[in-house]
Every structure is written in structure tokens, then in C-alpha cells.
């Protein structure tokens, strides 16, 4: 629904819809899904608490309140959910929708998962793996019956998620961030992001050349340069995502 690392007209912040009922990050939800579609959401898997990944949780909760029988699960590590509770759902920035309209009938529910432990939600299993960003951040291995994907979330150079992904037998796709052009590698490093050259090094750690790689989180103002630098990697398996892309795995 959004695959960019910032927002300008036509380019929305990162959020992916899996099987109609699960969101992977929630930077863009309510401006794309109808209210009917929003009511189908059961789970939101959160990579970290930067606004471009969480901002629509708040508006989604507001839109569906009183219309759902079950709460929407907010799935992430204890640390990340604690940041969300203390800084966003704190009755100051936004109402605490984990207690509204009632303690037992709230619209949102925290569902903490431990690093590297598998957690089943409906038809899929999520495994958080810590990545290297400026705040606590996690990527995910997401498994379905016959397939698995890896999602880096926002990360700079990191090792764990590639080690875990390399062992994933049914791995069918990688969703990896590239935020800045190669000329801004210093800023990418300092802000916990990747460039096209950085991605090439990271993919070397995965050691599987036949897996499709979908690139997201490009800063829209540098999109043209990033696309060119990705194409210069000369790897046909790497594709830069576009707004609205649908991928069957």
C-alpha cells in the first residue's frame, strides 16, 4: 500500500497487506483501504516505532471502533510495544485504544513476541529478528504453509537476519530496504539505512542468488538515482517496488 521512506504526493510510507487481514507495518493504511477492507484487519506486525511505519495504526483504530468483535493484534517485541504505549497510545498524543471502548473490549491489543521465537497468527507464523537501526527495530521471517519471506524493516548493515534467512528452507522472497543513493552512504550508515551498494553486500550474506528481492523504503526525492544504482547491480532478481504492486508468493 506504500513502499517509500517518506511521503510526497503519489508516494506513500511503508505498509504491506498480507492475505487481506494482516498488515506488515502501518505507515499507509486508511488512505488506501476502504472502511470495509479496514474492518478485515486482524493483525499489525510492527518493525519499529518510527512514524512512517506506525502512523496509520491510530487512524485505523479510530475508524473501526465499535464495528469489530475482536481486537486488532499489535505484534512486535516487548521493547517496541512499550515505546508505542509510552509515546503514542498514551492518552496525550492519541487515545489509548488498548483500553477503549473498554478494558475487555478494546479495539487494539498488544501481542508481544520474543526475538527469534516463532509466533503463529492465523495461517502465518512470524519470527522477529533484531536489525540495526537508530531505535529498537526488528525484521521478520514470515512463514505460510509452503513459503516464507524475509522483511528487513529499516536497517543498516546487519548480520542476524541474513543468518536466520539463510537457514529458511522455503524462502521465496526478500523484502529489503534501500533508502539513499550510494553518494549518501555516510548518512545511510548514521541513520541505520542501506544504499544499493550496501544492499549488494547484505545479499552476499544471504548467499542465495535465485531468490527474488523486492526493494522498498526509497526516499522519493532520490528515487530515480536509487533505481539507476539498483539496475547497475546487474542482478535481474532485484526489483524496486512501486506503489500498488501485488506480489503472489
Binding site for Zn ion (CB under 5 A): 50, 52, 154
Which is nearer to Zn ion, 55 or 143 (by Cβ)? 55
Instruction: Give phi and psi for 183, each to the nearest 5.
Output: -65, -15
How far apart CA 3 and CA 11 sit, in angstroms, is: 8
CB of residue 217 to Zn ion, shortest distance in Å: 6
CB of residue 17 to Zn ion, shortest distance in Å: 17
Q: Edge-to-edge, what's the strand order for the sheet holding 108-112?
A: 16-18, 22-24, 43-45, 72-76, 108-112
Angle at which helix 196-206 crosses helix 223-231, to 10 degrees, equals: 40
Are residues 133 and 155 in contact, defined by beta-carbon separation less than 8 angstroms?
yes
How far apart CA 48 and CA 81 sit, in angstroms, is: 9
Report the residue count for the chain: 249
CB of residue 27 to Zn ion, shortest distance in Å: 7
CB of residue 177 to Zn ion, shortest distance in Å: 8
Which is nearer to Zn ion, 52 or 202 (by Cβ)? 52
CB of residue 212 to Zn ion, shortest distance in Å: 22
Which is nearer to Zn ion, 50 or 143 (by Cβ)? 50
Which is nearer to Zn ion, 162 or 216 (by Cβ)? 216
Under DSSP, is residue 221 helix (H, G, I), strand (E, B) or coil? helix
Which is nearer to Zn ion, 154 or 229 (by Cβ)? 154
Amino acid at each position: 500500500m506504500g513502499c517509500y521512506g517518506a511521503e510526497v504526493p503519489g508516494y506513500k510510507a511503508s505498509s504491506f497487506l498480507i492475505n487481506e487481514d494482516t498488515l506488515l507495518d502501518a505507515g499507509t493504511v486508511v488512505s488506501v483501504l476502504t472502511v470495509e477492507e479496514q474492518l478485515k484487519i486482524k493483525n499489525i506486525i510492527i518493525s519499529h516505532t518510527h512514524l512512517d511505519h506506525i502512523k496509520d495504526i491510530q487512524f485505523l483504530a479510530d475508524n473501526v471502533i465499535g464495528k469489530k468483535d475482536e481486537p486488532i493484534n499489535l505484534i512486535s517485541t516487548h521493547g517496541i510495544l512499550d515505546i508505542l504505549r509510552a509515546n503514542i497510545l498514551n492518552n496525550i498524543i492519541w487515545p489509548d485504544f488498548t483500553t477503549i471502548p473498554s478494558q475487555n473490549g478494546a479495539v487494539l491489543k498488544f501481542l508481544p513476541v520474543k526475538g527469534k521465537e516463532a509466533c503463529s497468527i492465523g495461517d502465518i507464523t512470524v519470527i522477529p529478528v533484531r536489525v540495526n537501526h537508530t531505535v529498537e527495530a526488528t525484521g521478520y521471517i514470515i512463514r505460510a504453509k509452503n513459503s516464507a519471506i524475509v522483511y528487513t524493516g529499516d536497517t543498516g548493515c546487519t548480520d542476524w537476519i541474513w543468518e536466520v534467512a539463510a537457514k529458511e528452507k522455503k524462502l521465496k522472497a526478500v523484502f529489503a530496504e534501500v533508502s539513499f543513493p550510494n553518494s549518501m552512504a555516510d548518512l545511510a550508515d548514521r541513520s541505520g539505512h542501506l544504499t544499493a551498494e550496501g544492499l549488494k553486500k547484505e545479499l552476499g550474506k544471504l548467499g542465495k542468488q535465485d531468490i527474488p528481492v523486492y526493494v522498498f523504503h526509497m526516499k522519493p526525492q532520490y528515487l530515480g538515482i536509487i533505481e539507476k544504482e539498483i539496475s547497475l547491480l546487474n542482478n535481474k532478481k532485484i526489483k524496486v517496488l512501486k506503489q500498488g504492486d501485488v506480489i503472489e508468493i
